[in-house]
Structure formats: structure tokens, C-alpha cells
Amino acid sequence: MLAPNTPMWLAVDLGIQMAGGVVVPLYTTGSLEDTGFILRDSGANRLFVGTTDLLDAITPLIPRLPALTRIWVEGLTDSYSNELVHPLERLEELDVDLVAKRIAPITRQSEATIVYTSGTGGLPKGVVITQGNLMSNIEGTLAILEMGPGDRTLSFLPLSHIFERMVCWLCLLGSVEIAFARKPETVVADMERLQPTVVVAVPRFYSVVRSRILAQIARLPGWQRHWMERAFAAGHRWSLEAGGNPGPRPMGLRWLDRLFLKKVRAKFGGKIRFFVSGSAPLPEETFHWYRGLGLPIVEGYGMTESSPVLTVSPIDNPRPGSVGKAIPNVELKIADDGEILAQGPSIMLGYHNQEDASAHALQGGWLHTGDIGTLDDEGFLRITDRKKDLIVNSGGKNIAPGYLESLITSDPLISQAMVLGDRQPHLGALIVLDPDQLAALCVEKGLEQPVEPARLEREVLGRIRRRLQDRPSFEQIRRVRILSEPFSIASGELTATLKLRRKVVIARHAEAIASLFPSHQDETP
């Protein structure tokens, strides 16, 4: 399936499964190379395409895909139709009795989908997920997330990722209404119009929206800005002090909420009960900022190989900085080297056509997640970083770059960051700035754009040092280089789920990285 998020995506997905087929989703943003590999490796014999533009994009692949016997395209015109390519709408003309005959017997052991992980390097791996894996995960997640009739969610993360598909399946089983965003750029406007009660996103979304709101506040007239900043500060302070047991908000904050914060919540539709964040750890400051605004965020953790949810944070008893506790039917433990291991009926069958990789990932009956983390006495899980991303400096200290990056990007000015320093005496970072926040900073400090690079780097480094002031000396950032373009999916620097492809970034920015670690003795930035 190659299509943008639409109701038809879900209809085709469920229809294929009901007929006993196996669904292989494709990213609309995927490279031609990855798309071709997935189609060949999966042995797909049917292809459902959401638009004629997407059909045009993959047309060069078709002659090299002999297994394909039929391509169905939504909105296809007669000029495109041929023996191989057909309009999807033609399926609606099928006799109801014929459709009923195609419904296949399905068991929990039946394969449901093969989801290819975009990975942070190398070719994608196809994760084989059964109907039993999915049902176990849906049941376990619904037992914790309080969603049901009367709720509405807004779908905008790609349905080609198991995370968003699981959200939609949860909604279907829980009688939750699903609305679809028009496009990524209109998500917040769509929230205001459609008034969802629960929204699921990734940390990057929450950080970007927060930066935009703060930039808008900075442009308000003096007295309005003063009171709005005071309201946000009061909410943030209350959330910090409340920790994992938020009680009633004090009267002063309730007053500020009615006059100011309520207006900001209205931009999200005014009916949000809670947000959900997954795919990567959420910076604690982001958590407190939103909860102080009256928009609590529930964190979760998982991966494609676990169908995907492993943990969910209790809505009424969160632990800031934690991704929650294991859902029912999932068991977690920490290996001697700190790696998170998971076991349960939602763990994948294995990797398609990759027996060795499957055996390695499922050693001893446990899924080896590749993530480093800790479990406290109450079962709350904290993620430190990806095992393979750990930095070992020249002094032999192990450093988790992902955690430092989350602290750095909690500053609204800093949109993206990548920490480096493997086998080096100190750490450096590549930085991408938020343009709205940069403009606000220039107004505040009377600077003209473009700001002289050394001046801007000193400003950014000072802000980073304040964010990392509680970290040990070997985790301090000594040098930064500010990039003119953001990391992106199109450049290959981000996966489809917005995770850094560190090897690609290192290759693309070799010169800037080299300047972070000069060979001479003078290491002043």
C-alpha cells in the first residue's frame, strides 16, 4: 500500500486482512530505492496506490517487479488504465455475495502485516506481525488508555508506520471517531476546526508547536506578552512542583488560565483531554510546559517489532521523564549491559527473509530492543539512548547523545541537534535553529539578520550550557556549528519517523564536524 492518510487507507488495509492477505505499507516519502527493495523483498503481488502522482513516481520500478499482477489506484483516469493498472473504485462495483465469499478464516497465528522499518542505516528490515500480535497489543493498550465513545482523534502521522495504524485500530475497537488532517502543514489548524479530544504525535511535533506559540507570544504588545508569559511560567512551575501526582491547580493559576491559557488551548480545538507522545523520549521541559498549559501528555514506548506498544504512562499518575509501565501481557527486564528486553504475545514473529537477524533480535525468547534504559521499583521505564548510538570519549566515558539532544532541544530556539564526540576529548554539536525563535531573538537583542556566525554560536553555546548545567563535565558541549538547513527525510538525514540517521549526517557534514574537534591545543570555541 502506497497512499497518504485517508479513510480509504484504513478500508483497504482491513479489507486485505479480512481476505486473508498480508499488508505491506510503503512510505509516500520513501526513496525509490527503498520502495523497490520492499516490493521485491516482500514478494507483493498486488499494489494499492493512493494518487496518480504516486503512481507516476514509482512507474520506473514496475518493469522490474514481475511478481506484480495488479495495481489499484484511487482516482485513476481512463488515460492511465491498462491490463496491469486499474481504478480502485472498480472494486466498489463487486457483488456483495462475491465479497462475502472472499472473507477468509483468520486465526491469531495468521500473518497480518509486514512492516519494513526505515532503520537508521542500511536497507529496511521487514517485521512480520501476526493477528495475535496485533490483538494482544490493542487489548493491552486499551486497558490503560482511557478512550471510548465520544472521543475523537486526528490522524496525521503516516499510516505506513505501525504506530499510527495501531492508534486507528484502537479507535475502531474503542468506538473513537477518526478525523484526518489535510496535510502536515495544517495539523494545528485542523485541530482548531475539528476539535479532537485525543491526539497522538511524536516529540518533534510538540517541540515545533511550542516554539511557534512562544514566537507568537514574543510578538504581542508589552502588557499582553507580560501576562501571557506570567501565565505560562505559573503553569510550568505548578507542573514541576506537582511531579507525578498533580492535584488541584492553585487559585492564581486558575485565574490566569481563564484569562490567558484557555485562549491558547482553543487553538488546539479546546477539547483536548490528553496528548500521547511516542517514537522517541519527550523532553521533561516539554512535558511540563504542556501540562502547565492544561494539555497533559501521556508518554509511551515501543517499536515495530513489538506491534508496537510496550509501555504507556498512567494518565492520572505520570512520571515526568519516564515512558510509563509495561502494558498487560508484556514483561520487561534490563540486561547486564543496560539493554531493554521485552517478552510477550505482541512480539513479532521475526524478520522476513532474514533468519540470522531474527535469531539475533529474539535471543533467549526476549526481544532485544537495542535501547538502553532503567526500570525503577514501581516498574516505570526510562529510556537513555540507542545502544549503538552511545558515544565513548577519549577518556573511556560512555555518553548517551540522545538524552543530551533532548535537553538541548528543550530550548525553543534550538529546533534540532546532533551531539558528537566519539573517541574525542570533548563533545560538540551540530545545531539547527528555529527561524521564528531566531527572529524573536534578533528583535530582543537588536541584532540584524543574518547574524555573524561566531556571535550566534556564542549565544547558542551559552544557552546549551544552561540546559546542561546539572550534567557532569564530560557531558558538556564545548563547540557548536549552526547548520543553514534542517535535517530532513528528503536529504536522508531523518527516517520516516523523524529519527536521526547519524551516519548520513556525519557523511554530509564532515567539514563542519571536523571543525568541532580541532587537532591543535586551542579548543576555545
State whether 374 and 396 are in the same domain: no
Which H helix or E strand runs over 254?
helix 251-256
Of 386, 404, 423, the one marking the end of a domain is 386
Q: pLDDT of the chain along its 525 residues, tens only?
A: 999 999 999 999 999 999 999 999 999 988 899 899 999 999 999 999 999 999 999 999 999 999 999 999 998 877 666 789 999 888 888 788 888 888 889 999 999 999 998 755 567 899 999 999 999 999 999 999 889 999 999 999 999 999 999 999 999 999 999 999 998 889 999 999 999 999 999 988 999 999 999 989 988 988 999 999 999 999 999 999 887 777 788 899 999 999 999 999 999 999 999 999 988 888 899 999 999 999 999 999 999 999 999 999 998 888 888 999 999 999 999 999 999 999 999 999 999 999 999 999 999 999 999 999 999 999 999 998 888 888 989 888 889 899 899 999 999 999 999 999 998 999 999 999 999 999 988 988 888 888 899 999 999 999 999 999 999 999 999 999 999 999 998 898 998 778 899 999 999 999 999 999 986 444 444
Query: Would you state the cell numbers that stand for residue 35, as one nine-digit string?
Result: 520502495
Of 427, 445, 422, the residue nearest 525 (C-alpha): 427
Query: Would you state the cell numbers that stand for residue 7, as one nine-digit string?
Result: 479513510
Give domain status of residue 176, yes or no: no
Give domain status of residue 3, yes or no: yes
- How far apart are the C-alpha atoms of 461 and 403, rounded to whole Å? 17
State whether 457 and 441 are in the same domain: yes
State whether 339 and 419 are in the same domain: no
Q: The domain that contains 501 carries what CATH number?
A: 3.30.300.30
Give domain status of residue 232, yes or no: yes
CA atoms within 13 A on the CB side of 414: 29
- E strands along 74-138, which residues? 85-87, 111-117, 125-130
State whether 354 and 207 are in the same domain: yes
Of 525, 488, 495, 505, the residue nearest 420 (C-alpha): 505
What are the CA-CA distances from residue 79 to residues 1, 58, 86, 322 (Å)? 22, 17, 11, 54
Give domain status of residue 154, yes or no: no
User: Residue 225 is part of which domain span?
Assistant: 198-386
- How far apart are the C-alpha atoms of 382 and 226, rounded to whole Å? 36
SS3 335: coil
State whether 227 and 351 are in the same domain: yes
For residues 492-517, b (16+ Cβ closer than 10 Å) or e, as one string? ebbbbbbbbbbebbeebbeebbeebb
The most distant pair of C-alpha atoms in the chain lies apart, rounded to whole Å, by 80
- Sheet of 339-343, strands arranged across: 331-334, 339-343, 367-375, 381-386
What is the pTM for the complete model shown?
Answer: 0.86
Give domain status of residue 245, yes or no: yes
Residue type present at position 73: V
